[in-house]
Structure 1
């Protein structure tokens, strides 16, 4: 973004440009009076219900995160409050790729979908929305153990290898979530998108690191329970922001399982309520399980299997030689010996060389625009790895600037040419550049020939780490893949605009304590012209119930809503829950918590 707004929040200000590209303006004015009423209804329900089942800091956490019952939060207020906790927040357009989402968490920044769910999805939406992201994630940030886990899983996730199939799945999930939140979409289009998602899900093959890590994220950050199996409390944002599932999840029908590393074996479906949930005794246990999983990942293991994962991703990844040299690019080939150990690696297209996450001068993606390849392993007839050669050993092997030499690796790969430069970092040799160079395998297969220019040979006896993305993301100017499917922007007709006006007037009467003489006429218009609406009638009932000046109107609205609950089963629970909160006002609950 050219005009980047960091909200005077240091965490947001430090975001690198490859993450800033996902940020959109919140555009607060786009929220309609119905949107504000949806927020208020959900938050009142949450305050009413979650005081008993949410993990302790939730209610106070709402206030510490700058959230109120009355209004959809604005980003500046949230950043002012989250900044005191060492966090920040930005708004994005719907689902963003998992790797980017994770990396935001590593930077201590919450990603909040700018849109809000429609009233017909008030209990739950498969699409990310501002209720889920802010009322779900932000309140628990105040807990130090939890926010340590959140940032740590973010930093692990930013390194996780994913497959090309993961991209297909991400696109299908994003497409379906957009359709489900759009207006007047034909049912067959949604069914088609659901079938497409089902088909892709069924043909994912072996789950990638990102797929497995996403499961851990889902069953903790999104749908986690904490405490004992008999009396768990909710901390997962998906549950905290779903007034339907936060209640149903506590029933015995939803199996409760201790949270361990085995949780990675449970896949999930974002379009359905969860058949089982996982309970952790402490947030420290989440970190312990994450450590167990991280030990199996490519960034800690390296080797042949990790390069294979990089090749499967078909996206930029980084391989780290034992010398510390980092090679970034799209990995396309590798060589192995009879024991399955790497003998060489190859990238295609723009590639770059770095050390300690800083790109080496002159070795960016413009210089290595056609890819990079280099041997892996030790030289023949030496017990010392080439990266550890002393000046005397370099001299013995003829590795001196201006000298022509031939290096033969244990794998049989031969490198013959004139040494142009030897690059060292500390005591380690990390790169040797050759002119007039030929590189060939023991079977005579040519890997590099003189007319291709300078040959830069990476030095290292093994590949110790492989991770997703570039080593030096800023220098590599990594533009992460962004979906071309944008969330739907709704245009309102005259009738809907009039309904918005009714909601707005009701809010004004409630907020300002002004004359409620307009309420009978507003209710009459609702009954005659907007019989599908139930929420505004509840808001009018709330005012007349508290004022107590028009018992006749109160009785009429109650009868109207009870009749509606009888004939509209999809609204029955919503209406009754709304009436319950009117009888048990949340202002008392806030006082109790304080």
Structure 2
């Protein structure tokens, strides 16, 4: 099954006409302007200042290993470091991808990264994911072996989920545990999700905000939990170790159909069996 632009929202910013059948295109690193690199450095400096008390150790170690400080990263250089760590590579894409194209890349240990960077007036919020969200937010954790295996296994389940009409619960797993996941380290709550770590407001809200609900990771609960796409999240799920996240993939095929047929849990709502983490 090939992806189609018909599967994507209208009005996306990326240059989809230049992309190949798998939605990849050259990064063309030399085309980034001094203003683009300045925007990256501004975003990087702001987010990096929040990392020591708020970001997971594995994320911070991965970011240091990749060394994204100077400006917009070169995917070829980052890929060389990722392949040495976990066998993953980066591919440039115009932006959001159809589900099947996205799953195919993950299943082959290729992480799609949006080529363009946000404008200076969009430093605080951007509707579409850009290169800063994708590269700064997602890529450092691809150096963590258990998380890298989890993401590969996630991609491999995409076709099966589509065949049984269970893409919605599968998307919830990605949203809560890849974009907005938390981990407990030494009794403290740390963020590893890209949607958290690429946003200063979300970083503080998720890890220390009094209004946020933090629940112990439960696969069944996650697969039923709806979410906001344009507000701070009211509920986050917390793992104790990345190996537990990868281990949950063994149960995922059996849980997808049940989650598909169950009533969704609204964002921020409580559910029987919830285990809050102080």
Q: TM-score, normalised by structure 2?
A: 0.78
Is 2:90 the partner of 1:132?
A: no
The answer to whether the 8 Å contact 2:176/2:237 transfers is: yes
| Greater share of residues in helix | 2
- Per the alignment, in what secondary structure is the counterpart of residue 251 of structure 2? helix
Matches within 5 A, 1:52-451: 52-65=53-66, 67-85=67-85, 86-161=87-162, 208-227=165-184, 231-250=188-207, 251-260=209-218, 261-297=220-256
Instruction: Find the aligned partners of 2:187 and 2:236 in 1 and give their Cα distance.
Output: 13
The answer to whether the 8 Å contact 2:146/2:246 transfers is: no
The answer to whether the 8 Å contact 1:162/1:211 transfers is: no
Alpha-carbon offset, residue 131 of structure 1: 0.8
- Per the alignment, in what secondary structure is the counterpart of residue 249 of structure 1? helix
- Per the alignment, in what secondary structure is the counterpart of residue 68 of structure 2? coil
Describe the superposition over 1:328-375 as per-residue Cα deviations: whole angstroms up to 9, x where unpaired: xxxxxxxxxxxxxxxxxxxxxxxxxxxxxxxxxxxxxxxxxxxxxxxx
Deviates more, 1:218-227 or 1:80-89: 80-89
Is 2:22 the partner of 1:21?
A: yes
Describe the superposition over 1:418-469 as per-residue Cα deviations: whole angstroms up to 9, x where unpaired: xxxxxxxxxxxxxxxxxxxxxxxxxxxxxxxxxxxxxxxxxxxxxxxxxxxx
Alpha-carbon offset, residue 162 of structure 1: 6.1
For residues 162 and 274 of structure 1, do their structure 2 counterparts lie closer, same or farther at Cα, with a shift above 3 Å needed? farther
For residues 228 and 258 of structure 1, do their structure 2 counterparts lie closer, same or farther at Cα, with a shift above 3 Å needed? farther
Instruction: Find the aligned partners of 1:239 and 1:99 in 2 and give their Cα distance.
Output: 25
CA RMSD of aligned residues (A): 2.4
Larger radius of gyration: 1
- Per the alignment, in what secondary structure is the counterpart of residue 100 of structure 1? helix
Find the counterpart in structure 2 of residue 50 from structure 1.
51
The answer to whether the 8 Å contact 2:170/2:256 transfers is: no
Alpha-carbon offset, residue 20 of structure 1: 5.5
- Per the alignment, in what secondary structure is the counterpart of residue 295 of structure 1? helix
The answer to whether the 8 Å contact 1:124/1:244 transfers is: no
The answer to whether the 8 Å contact 1:215/1:267 transfers is: yes
Alpha-carbon offset, residue 81 of structure 1: 1.5
- Per the alignment, in what secondary structure is the counterpart of residue 112 of structure 2? strand
- Per the alignment, in what secondary structure is the counterpart of residue 236 of structure 2? strand
The answer to whether the 8 Å contact 2:132/2:198 transfers is: yes
Instruction: Find the aligned partners of 2:166 and 2:197 in 1 and give their Cα distance.
Output: 27
The answer to whether the 8 Å contact 2:184/2:240 transfers is: yes
Alpha-carbon offset, residue 214 of structure 1: 0.7
Alpha-carbon offset, residue 99 of structure 1: 2.6
Q: TM-score, normalised by structure 1?
A: 0.38
The answer to whether the 8 Å contact 2:191/2:206 transfers is: no
Q: Which stretches of structure 1, 4 residues or more, deviate above 3 A after TM superposition?
A: none
| Matched pairs, number | 237
Find the counterpart in structure 1 of residue 269 from structure 2.
none
The answer to whether the 8 Å contact 2:169/2:256 transfers is: no
The answer to whether the 8 Å contact 1:222/1:239 transfers is: yes
For residues 88 and 228 of structure 1, do their structure 2 counterparts lie closer, same or farther at Cα, with a shift above 3 Å needed? closer
- Per the alignment, in what secondary structure is the counterpart of residue 285 of structure 1? helix
Alpha-carbon offset, residue 118 of structure 1: 1.7
Q: Structure 2, unaligned stretches of length 5 or more?
A: 1-19, 261-278
